[in-house]
Amino acid sequence: MSQKATLLKVLVEQKEWRFVDFQRRFRRVADQILKGNARSLTISESTYRRWTSGRMATLPGIETCKVLEHLFGVDAASLLGPPPSSSDLSAPKFDLEGEIAMTARDAQSEASATAAESISDTTLDQLREDVTALARDYSGTAAFDVWRRAKELREEAESARERTQVPAQKEELLILAGQACALLATAAFDLGSLDSARRLCRAAALYGETARFNPLRAFAGGTLAYIAYFQNRPSEGARFARQAQAFTGLGDVAVRRLAAIEARAHAYAGDVASARRALTISQQLGPGLTDDLHDEVSGEFGFNGERLAMSTSSTYLLIGDGEGAEAAAMQSLELATARPAAGRAAKVIGGAAADLAMARLLRNDLEGAVDAMPPVWEIPRGQRSPGILTRTARVRRALGAAPYRNAPQAIETADQIEDFTRESATHQLGPGAGPLAALES
């Protein structure tokens, strides 16, 4: 066999196949007729060029010949031999019915292969619902339970992402894995493991960056800012919050959350003017924009009115504005307790109550401060986050100073706070794990 072209080349040109088209159909037929023996049949482009140029000294192996014959309906020797004469070439050689049948088989096989490389809509829907449910149930769930469930969901999302080749599914699974990672970061923070929380925040931000999903990047940036605040790095916290506000595609809730965190960081750094400026932004209604994380998923990713008011009260306390702190804490309590009992967040109510107590101590109302504290004791052990412990520690310090240190009510409440802290899940991680040293001093 040494001619310049082969019948195979003529037939391929008639079908207007490129090499990749021929290669795909060859593999498909091999899988169909050889079953498990088709794995070793691979056709390189150089082999294909030898077949079509007539530079084959001998016929290929038996299995390869079978595939070629099935593919074209011509024996292998003829396929790799010289093409017919010009008169024969003028005769119809294109088998329309056979081509339609082959195309149908190819389409079915390729569709089946694509289906095998995707995950079902049911699986994706369930995973989406599970992540959303965990975010919405966060405020009423122990941090360790959130950690455990978020870990499972991130692993499920990654496993599904490995199984699918569908771009849209891959993108959504990246976002879901990133949301689970963000919940892991928040749970790690609430358990007092701040260094791990920072690492998880950055992982969540990377998920958001890869998926081009800015709300997740902004949420992670805000959480990084919050962590920096608790690790005695308020300037870094303010910078993180400002950077996160620069992302496009954020809704009003996301902007308010970031501004509130920035205000806390400025207040802790002693920059009263910047703190008040950020507070003003956090209170603005905005143009009514929403996004798919802070608004659609919401829950822990949201930032409702009571959480905003609670954060505002803490900022006012840091800048020494007791009147503003009391008003904001009262607003937070009113909004939170107006919800049905099942929808109330004990952490928010307790945090606002602690801020209210501190605000009253600033205006020398010891009795009013003690009366404000009962909601704090109702916070379950597994939900006593660093934010709560920092607020109660601030109250305890004030009770131990003049003019309250010798008052029976002050001593009793300070002892209750000590017990409350000692029994918290965060405290059990040990002194090296918690963030409270800076803000308690």
The reported pLDDT for the residue numbered 111 is 58
The reported pLDDT for the residue numbered 2 is 45
The proportion of the chain whose per-residue pLDDT surpasses 90, expressed as a percent, equals 65
Alpha-carbon gap, residue 354 to 392, rounded angstroms: 6
The reported pLDDT for the residue numbered 103 is 61
CA distances from 330 to 131, 372, 410 (A): 32, 10, 22
Alpha-carbon gap, residue 62 to 429, rounded angstroms: 69
**The token pair that represents 60 in the structure block:** 């290929």
Q: Is residue 36 part of a domain?
A: yes
The reported pLDDT for the residue numbered 183 is 98
- Residue 427 confidence (pLDDT) above 80: no
**Amino acid sitting at position 401:** A
CA distances from 389 to 76, 234, 258, 361 (A): 81, 18, 22, 18
Buried b / exposed e along 209-228 (16+ C-beta atoms within 10 A)? eebebbbbbbbbbbbbbbbb
Average of per-residue pLDDT across 18-33: 84
- Residue 402 confidence (pLDDT) above 60: yes
Length of the chain: 441
Alpha-carbon gap, residue 347 to 389, rounded angstroms: 11
The reported pLDDT for the residue numbered 313 is 97
| Model confidence pLDDT, tens digit, residues 156-199 | 999 999 999 899 999 999 999 999 999 999 999 999 999 999 99
Closest by CA to 186, choosing from 421, 347, 375, 395, is 347
The reported pLDDT for the residue numbered 70 is 87
The reported pLDDT for the residue numbered 282 is 97
Task: List Cβ neighbours of 224 (8 Å cut-off, separation of 6 or more).
Answer: 198, 201, 202, 205, 237, 240
Alpha-carbon gap, residue 83 to 90, rounded angstroms: 12
Contact present, 356 and 330 (Cβ < 8 Å): yes
Neighbours of 39 (CB within 10 A): 10
Domain encompassing residue 349: 304-441
Task: List Cβ neighbours of 2 (8 Å cut-off, separation of 6 or more).
Answer: 54, 55
The pTM score is 0.74
Phi-psi region of 137 (alpha: psi -120 to 50; beta: other; left: phi over 0): alpha
Task: List Cβ neighbours of 23 (8 Å cut-off, separation of 6 or more).
Answer: 43, 45, 48
Neighbours of 81 (CB within 10 A): 18
Among 54, 83, 116, give the residue marking a domain's end. Answer: 116
Contact present, 140 and 110 (Cβ < 8 Å): no
- Residue 262 confidence (pLDDT) above 50: yes
295: helix, strand or coil: coil
| Model confidence pLDDT, tens digit, residues 49-105 | 888 888 777 888 888 888 888 888 888 888 888 887 654 444 444 455 655 665 666
Task: List Cβ neighbours of 342 (8 Å cut-off, separation of 6 or more).
Answer: none
Contact present, 135 and 184 (Cβ < 8 Å): no
Neighbours of 377 (CB within 10 A): 13
Contact present, 191 and 226 (Cβ < 8 Å): no
The reported pLDDT for the residue numbered 376 is 97
Among 116, 135, 167, give the residue marking a domain's end. Answer: 116
Neighbours of 151 (CB within 10 A): 15
Q: Is residue 322 part of a domain?
A: yes
Q: Is residue 265 part of a domain?
A: no
- Residue 210 confidence (pLDDT) above 50: yes
| Model confidence pLDDT, tens digit, residues 147-158 | 999 999 999 999
Q: Is residue 81 part of a domain?
A: yes
Among 76, 101, 116, give the residue marking a domain's end. Answer: 116
- Residue 426 confidence (pLDDT) above 90: no
Q: What is the mean pLDDT of the chain?
A: 88
The reported pLDDT for the residue numbered 100 is 64
Q: Is residue 202 part of a domain?
A: no
Question: Of 43-47, 336-340, 392-396, which range is least confident?
Answer: 43-47
Closest by CA to 283, choosing from 268, 303, 297, 267, is 303
The reported pLDDT for the residue numbered 23 is 85
Q: Is residue 193 part of a domain?
A: no
Q: Is residue 397 part of a domain?
A: yes
Question: Of 112-126, 167-181, 365-379, which range is least confident?
Answer: 112-126
- Residue 372 confidence (pLDDT) above 60: yes
Task: List Cβ neighbours of 318 (8 Å cut-off, separation of 6 or more).
Answer: 264, 267, 268, 275
Number of domains in the chain: 2
Q: What is the CATH number of the domain that holds 325?
A: 1.25.40
The reported pLDDT for the residue numbered 432 is 39
| Model confidence pLDDT, tens digit, residues 274-332 | 999 999 999 998 899 999 999 999 999 999 999 999 999 999 999 999 999 999 999 99
Q: Is residue 372 part of a domain?
A: yes
**Amino acid sitting at position 80:** L
Question: Of 109-123, 249-263, 314-328, which range is least confident?
Answer: 109-123
Alpha-carbon gap, residue 70 to 309, rounded angstroms: 74
The reported pLDDT for the residue numbered 231 is 93
